[in-house]
């Protein structure tokens, strides 16, 4: 039988983990919600963000919290390049995403995913880890890791910053208008190419920043297959919270993080992971637009 103190500790760790998972999924949510493109290579950009934090730590001694903004700038540039290299030709001039467009972008991002994984395997053969340690605060039965707490706060700040950008700036409102009705947005003077490129860049920026923050939790190391773990987690989080809903990333991340940490207290961890992901089925059946309304 699990005592109340242990259960409280698992709950706190679940909240901390859920926040960083939310930041990772947030980039996918932005791109999916605005351009309606499902980025199959999402996990590989999480992996690139984690490697970025590793090399910044290795050569310059930067901790993941400092590396995250640098990764975000790289992600912004890569995302805009990705849009013009892979998506612009297919999305240009279209006022809605067709089945053909979905298939083309799915295949393109899947191919990109394979390229990045195989390049990673060829160049970076062995798992690596970021050297980062912080004190732990003890509150009764809870050992609160300060590193995980800082990362959780930074993750929520990333989501809050994108919310403010999308609701309080002209470009952000243009992105939201584009995501709702491309034809109407164009009539209002919105440049669809510029808006879609910025939204894609913003999505990649948050993804790579999330990958950098994730390194605090990666005790087993970073390897080229990292994306194959966190891409499915990101898709589940977006589906739970609702595609295109900025705070939906946090709701989905917290839900999954708490389930992943609390369920093993009651059942074997292998079954706990399976049950945690099964939650997506009733959510899709009863609230197909996600938990957040």
DSSP string of 131-187? -----EEEETTEEEEHHHHHHHHHHHHHHHHHHHHHHHSHHHHHHHHHHH-HHHHHH
Beta-carbon neighbour count of residue 188 at 10 Å?
11
DSSP 8-state secondary structure symbol assigned to residue 87: I
Is pLDDT larger for residue 132 or for residue 42?
A: 42
pLDDT at 3 over 70: yes
Over the stretch 204-242, which tens digit does the pLDDT of each residue have?
999 999 999 999 888 778 888 888 889 989 988 988 888
With 70 as the cut, is the pLDDT of residue 1 above it?
no
pLDDT of 25 > 80? The answer is yes
Read off the tokens for 223: 């390897």
What number is the average pLDDT over the span 39-54?
A: 92
Q: What is the pLDDT of residue 72?
A: 95
Please check the confidence at residue 69 and state whether its pLDDT lies above 90. yes
pLDDT in tens, 245-290: 888 889 999 999 998 888 888 888 778 778 878 888 888 788 877 7
Evaluate whether 41 touches 221 at the Cβ level (below 8 Å): no
- Dist. CA 258–CA 16, nearest whole Å: 9
Is residue 137 very low, low, confident or very high in pLDDT (cuts 50, 70, 90)? Answer: confident
């Amino acid at each position: 039988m699990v005592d109340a103190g242990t259960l409280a500790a698992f709950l706190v760790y679940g909240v901390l983990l859920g926040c960083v998972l939310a930041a990772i999924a947030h980039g996918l949510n932005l791109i999916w919600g605005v351009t309606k493109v499902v980025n199959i290579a999402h996990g590989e950009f999480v992996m690139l963000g984690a490697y970025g934090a590793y090399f910044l730590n290795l050569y310059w001694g930067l901790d993941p919290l400092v590396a995250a903004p640098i990764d975000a700038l790289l992600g912004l540039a890569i995302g805009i390049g990705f849009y013009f290299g892979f998506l612009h030709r297919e999305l240009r001039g279209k006022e809605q995403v067709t089945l053909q467009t979905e298939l083309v972008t799915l295949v393109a991002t899947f191919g990109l995913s394979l390229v990045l994984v195989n390049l990673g395997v060829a160049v970076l053969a062995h798992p690596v880890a970021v050297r980062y340690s912080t004190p732990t605060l003890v509150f009764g039965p809870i050992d609160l890791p300060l590193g995980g707490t800082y990362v959780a706060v930074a993750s929520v700040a990333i989501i809050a910053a994108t919310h403010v950008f999308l609701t309080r700036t002209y470009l952000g409102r243009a992105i939201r208008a584009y995501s709702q009705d491309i034809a109407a947005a164009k009539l209002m003077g919105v440049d669809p190419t510029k808006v879609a490129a910025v939204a894609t860049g913003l999505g990649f920026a948050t993804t790579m920043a999330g990958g950098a923050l994730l390194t605090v939790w990666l005790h087993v190391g970073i390897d080229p297959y990292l994306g194959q773990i966190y891409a499915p987690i990101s898709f589940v989080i977006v589906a739970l919270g609702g595609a295109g809903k900025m705070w939906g990333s946090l709701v989905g991340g917290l839900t999954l993080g708490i389930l992943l940490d609390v369920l093993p207290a009651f059942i074997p961890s292998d079954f706990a992971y399976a049950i945690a992901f099964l939650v997506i089925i009733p959510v899709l059946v009863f609230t197909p637009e996600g938990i957040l309304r």
